[in-house]
Chain A
Amino acid sequence: MRTLQGEQSVSVLARSYPMSFAAVQKHVAVLERAGLVTKRRRGREQLVQGNVLTLRSVLGLLEQFEAMWRSRIERIDEILAEESDEGDTK
């Protein structure tokens, strides 16, 4: 996540990762749609900048979904535990 430290051009990024220019560009497009980076043009260059705030907030949001699934799995554990108390169902 080099783009969090400042703007980077797509071609420089492509050189620093074992990826083709097209692959990096595709990756950047995905991140851009998710609001995790912003892109602007400077002449023939495309500059990418990471969006720290969005990245943090997405992680925070994912944490809340984690809590939701954890409580669902706790309930599943209770259902399965009830049965093993009643006798081995295997």
Chain B
Amino acid sequence: MTVTSIRKDPAALSMTITTEFDSPIGRVWQLWENPRQLERWWGPPTYPATVVDHDLTPGGKVSYFMTGPDGGQSRGYWRVLAVDAPYRLDFENGFADDDGSPNPNMPVMVIQVVLTDRPDGGTRMAIETTFPSPDAMTQILSMGIEEGMTLAVSQIDGIL
């Protein structure tokens, strides 16, 4: 496990996870920039993601669907807020309707990715996720449990 720190800020409704990789920054950036790479890790193996649109420019859209074991699909999108390759990517992440358009009734989280060069040639990646309200967090989690993105509480207890 390469995760080196987790910072949870309940007052700001945000969480930052920091990870260290031995790979150079250009390689780590590819995980976000290359849609074929992104779909290998964004969704869990039981609910893999397929990326449809992938425009990493400010105002650009990334759209994807995730396919469950029963063939059911759920759609999501990113709206890109800021990009500075290979150092920074800010985007909104929300749920989409069946036609791929953002679902205005579902909450949107803001994700900020910061990549930093390490002197030894490796890369530090910090990902901050911010939520609009506690209710939104609950709503996103219940969708996430359906998609196998997050574990049901009983499963978490099993691990701990």
Contact of A65 among B44, B133, B137 (CB under 8 A): B137
Count how many pairs of residues, one from A and one from B, have CB atoms less than 8 Å apart in the complex.
97
| A contacts with B: majority SS | helix
Instruction: Tell me if A34 and B23 are in contact (CB < 8 A).
Output: no
In the complex, A20 has a CB within 8 A of chain B = no
A65 & B31 in contact (Cβ 8 Å cutoff): no
Q: Does B24 contact A (CB under 8 A)?
A: yes
Main secondary structure of the interface of B (DSSP, over half): mixed
> Interface 1/0s, chain A 22-63, versus B by CB < 8 A?
000000001101111000000000000000001101110111
Interface footprint category on B: 35 or more
Residues on B with beta carbons closer than 8 Å to the beta carbon of A75:
40-41
Counting chain A residues whose Cβ lies within 8 A of the other chain, the interface size class is: 20 to 34
B41 with A76: CB separation less than 8 A = yes
How close is B42's CB to chain A, nearest CB, in angstroms? 7
Residues of A within 8 A of B (CB): 30-31, 33-36, 54-55, 57-59, 61-77, 79-80, 83-84, 89-90
A61-B138, A73-B19, A80-B21 known; 12 other A-B pairs, CB under 8 Å?
A: A30-B12, A33-B133, A55-B10, A64-B141, A64-B151, A65-B15, A67-B151, A73-B3, A75-B41, A77-B2, A80-B23, A80-B27
